[in-house]
């Protein structure tokens, strides 16, 4: 894959637009990529000692935002001089892998929806359903305004709402939005699957 920065629209037909350490504002017509790092581009012992790495939660929020806008995240994990990564980096990657084990279907093979999100919520979709990603841990009830009763974005009936890794959750569709009741133990970055 060939990437380039600061591309004109016609260039995006030939190479992939790369936004280094950044994120675009809206869904892009053509796939794009951001490259970022857990810390610095090179191994920095001081950063390790100061606990300066991005957390797994931060990276997963970035990933969700990027995918909702038709993008890809290339994440660099700096290595030590002997070619290994440290235990803090390993812990971050393990936490990310645990989240993806449960919620990966909402990332891998998905497409952007009609809008990338609303406030602190992002959307991805497949032919099987719509995924709702709250980027901040919601209270016991999540309100998704884009899925209100008379939504032009989602005119279909909603037959079920499922918390990935947990199962069906109670919901009610009103004029204000889709109101979803979440369990207390839904985790820091829950994902909902909406089905017609």
The last residue of one of the domains, among 83, 105, 127, is: 105
Same domain for 37 and 97? Answer: yes
- Taking residue 162's Cβ as centre, other Cβ atoms within 10 Å add up to 16
Contacts for 139 with CB less than 8 Å, ≥ 6 apart: none
| pLDDT band at residue 187 under the 50/70/90 scheme | confident
Does 138 have pLDDT greater than 70?
Answer: no
Is the Cβ–Cβ distance between 64 and 25 less than 8 Å? no
N-terminal to C-terminal alpha carbon distance within the chain: 37
- Domain at 155, CATH number: 2.60.40.1180
**Enclosing domain of residue 86:** 3-105
| Confidence band of 186 (pLDDT split at 50, 70, 90) | confident
Q: Are residues 21 and 67 in the same domain?
A: yes
101 with 8, same domain? yes
Number of domains in the chain: 2
* CB environment 132-147: b (16+ within 10 A), e (fewer): bbbbeebeeebbbebb
**Residues listed for the chain:** 196
Question: 98 with 160, same domain?
Answer: no
Specify whether 100 is located in the same domain as 127.
Answer: no
> From CA 189, how far away is CA 170, in angstroms rounded?
18
Check whether residue 50 and residue 67 sit in a common domain: yes
Is 90 in the same domain as 8? Answer: yes
For 176-191, what is the mean pLDDT? 91
Verify that 100 and 8 share a domain, yes or no: yes
Give 89-115 pLDDT, tens digit per residue.
Answer: 999 999 999 999 999 999 999 999 999
150 phi and psi angles, rounded to 5 deg: -105, 30
CA dist 8 and 45 (Å) reads: 39
pLDDT-derived band at 5 (thresholds 50, 70, 90) equals confident
Residue 138 vs residue 153, higher pLDDT: 153
How many other C-beta atoms are found inside a 10 Å radius of the C-beta of residue 104?
A: 14
Mean pLDDT of 120-126: 97
* Same domain, residue pair 100 and 120: no
| Dist CA 58 CA 111 (whole Å) | 21
Per-residue burial over 35-49, b = 16 or more CB atoms within 10 Å of its CB, e = otherwise: bbbbbeeebeeebbe
Same domain, 37 and 78: yes
Between residues 141 and 62, the one the model is more confident about: 62
> Cα dihedral sign for 179, 194, 64, 15?
negative
Model's pTM, two decimal places? 0.94
Is there a single domain that holds both residue 99 and residue 119? no
- CA 18, CA 23: separation in Å to the nearest integer? 10
Is residue 61 predicted with pLDDT exceeding 90?
Answer: yes
Sign of the torsion formed by the C-alpha atoms of 3, 7, 12 and 13: negative
Angle CA 17–18–23, to nearest 5: 105
Nearest to 194 by CA among 169, 174, 176, 175: 169
100 and 163: one domain?
no
């Amino acid at each position: 894959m060939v990437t380039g920065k600061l591309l004109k629209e016609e260039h995006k037909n030939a190479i992939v637009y790369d936004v280094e350490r950044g994120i675009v504002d809206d869904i892009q017509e053509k796939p794009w990529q951001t490259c970022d790092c857990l810390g610095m581009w090179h191994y920095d012992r001081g950063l390790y000692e100061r606990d300066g790495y991005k957390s797994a939660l931060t990276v997963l929020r970035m990933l969700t935002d990027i995918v909702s806008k038709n993008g890809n995240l290339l994440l660099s994990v700096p290595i030590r001089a002997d070619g290994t990564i440290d235990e803090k980096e390993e812990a971050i990657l393990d936490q990310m892998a645990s989240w993806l084990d449960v919620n990966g279907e909402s990332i891998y093979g998905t497409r952007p929806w009609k809008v990338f999100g609303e406030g602190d919520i992002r959307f991805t979709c497949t032919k099987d359903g719509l995924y709702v990603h709250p980027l901040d841990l919601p209270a016991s009830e999540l309100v998704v305004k884009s899925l209100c009763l008379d939504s032009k974005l989602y005119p279909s009936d909603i037959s079920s709402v499922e918390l990935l890794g947990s199962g069906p959750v109670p919901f009610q569709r009103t004029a204000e939005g889709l109101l979803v009741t979440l369990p207390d133990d839904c985790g820091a970055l829950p994902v909902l699957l909406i089905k017609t």
